[in-house]
Amino acid sequence: MVLGPFTQTIKVNMNTMKKTQRFTLIGAGLFLLTGLIQVQAQELKFIMCGGEVRAADQKVIDAFKASHPGVKVDMQAVPWGTCQDKSMTLAAAGDPVSLAYMGSRTLKRLGKNNLIVPVTIPEKDQANYQPGILKTVSSQGKFWGFPHAFSTKALFINCGMIEKAGMQCVGPHTWEGMYQMAKTVKDKLGIAGVGLVAKDFDNTMHQFLNYLYSNGGQVIDPDTNKITLNSPQTIEALEFYGKLASVAQDGPTAYERSQVKDLFNDEKVAMYIDGPWGGGQHKKTLKTINVPIPAGPSGNNGTLLITDSIAVFKGTGHEDVAIELARALSSGEAQYDLDSSWGLTPIMKYETMVDNPYYANSSYWKVFVDPIGSGGPEPLFVEYKSLQTVMNNMIQGIVLGEGSAADLVATAAEELEEFK
């Protein structure tokens, strides 16, 4: 799940955004250009995650109400820890909200249980998204939500430690180069060369998927719903994860990503994987670079593509109007404001829509944007928590030396059949 807003110090100059009519081509202004739509009095209930309603969202809602006489919008900003559970609980009890901010991982289960409706994204709008984004909300030919918050990952390196170990601080291009850099740090400095995540937590699976997608692998085919985990690419990725454990901090199964970030800040690990918000959470005294996740022997620089979405719930009687509002909130100026102010990877190709978008001409952002095309989605499973458990067991198994990569992958692939 893309949790936000993220604490970070990447500066965004909103004055560079020209509010031109180009934005109306991607959906936010479409309903404004079609004239007033007469509808019966309806109240749309919208649960948004976060402590307060964003001004950009309120602007869209006000415009939507003006163009839809009789429609009211009750937008509730619910804290991050409870917002999604609240939406799912209300739906399961037969009292659904109209639309809600949901982790895209939940969409397949909600659709399977007939709690949300599929949405239509016209081909001309699909073309505005970054490559692969729509795979994060699609299953067997249907879109189950509008992607709304997006992140990719990169490798952060402490140049001070690398140089102290006698190396140039240049990002490794391959897994072997990454391993050798980490090993040299550990051999010469006696400090962990890489921060490795293997705790029983969702970002353990996420961290592994960065390597899997950098090696051309896949967990499930979203079009056929076929489990594809048991492949040479996955076995190579898992073997490499186990190899990294030999040059990582002690006891990786006790660490999740934020804890590894703390080790990085304390100079107890020389490198680790994090999202674009990571750069703003490092100590100012550290000399760091961020580089693409190195390519595996069977792939290219890849990354996990992870999104949250706006889903439209079934059973309210006004699903069509809710879809219109969801489309407006997840496109145009409102979407650009979310991405730029929260420090998220751009979910759309804003360079075709605005002048000088926040990530343009930025070496920092280039690392997070360029690998999108070779990245892959958080796999959509009906039982997504079981997916996480199976994947984490596989990862922990290789870290703890409990079996060969081939056997662990085969077992995981077989177990996943039950939860797809």
The CA–CA distances, whole Å, from 235 to 40, 183, 264, 301 equal: 57, 22, 28, 18
Show the domains of the chain with their CATH numbers.
14-149+307-365 (3.40.190.10), 154-302+381-419 (3.40.190.10)
The verdict on whether omega for the bond into residue 346 sits within 30 degrees of 0, i.e. cis, is no
Helices 202-213 and 257-265, axial angle in degrees (round to 10): 80
For residues 414 and 401, give the distance between their C-alpha atoms in angstroms, rounded to a whole number: 20
pLDDT for 51:
78
Do the beta carbons of residue 291 and residue 184 sit within 8 Å? no
Interacting residues of 396 by C-beta distance below 8 A, sequence separation 6+? 198, 200, 204, 253, 402
Task: Retrieve residue 78's tokens.
Answer: 């619910």
pTM above 0.85, yes or no: yes
Task: Retrieve residue 353's tokens.
Answer: 């829509």
Do the beta carbons of residue 8 and residue 277 sit within 8 Å? yes
Per-residue pLDDT of the chain (420 residues; tens, 9 = 90+): 554 443 333 333 434 444 443 444 344 444 443 444 444 568 999 999 987 889 999 999 999 999 999 999 999 999 988 999 999 999 999 999 999 999 999 999 999 999 999 999 999 999 999 999 999 999 989 999 999 999 999 999 999 999 999 999 999 999 999 999 999 999 999 999 999 999 998 899 999 999 999 999 999 998 899 999 999 999 999 999 999 999 999 999 999 999 999 999 999 999 999 999 999 999 999 999 999 999 999 999 999 999 999 999 999 999 999 999 999 999 999 999 999 999 999 999 999 999 999 999 999 999 999 999 999 999 999 999 999 999 999 999 999 999 999 999 999 999 999 999
pLDDT digits (tens, 9 = 90+) for 267-281: 999 999 999 999 999
Interacting residues of 197 by C-beta distance below 8 A, sequence separation 6+? 203, 204, 207, 252, 255, 256, 257, 260
> Using CA of residue 369, residue 284, residue 207, residue 233, what is the dihedral sign?
positive
Q: How many Cβ atoms sit within 10 Å of the Cβ of residue 200?
A: 14
Interacting residues of 243 by C-beta distance below 8 A, sequence separation 6+? 179
For residues 230 and 100, give the distance between their C-alpha atoms in angstroms, rounded to a whole number: 35
Task: Retrieve residue 179's tokens.
Answer: 């391993």
Cα angle value 212/176/253 (rounded, 5°): 55
- Count CA within 13 A, CB hemisphere, residue 115: 23
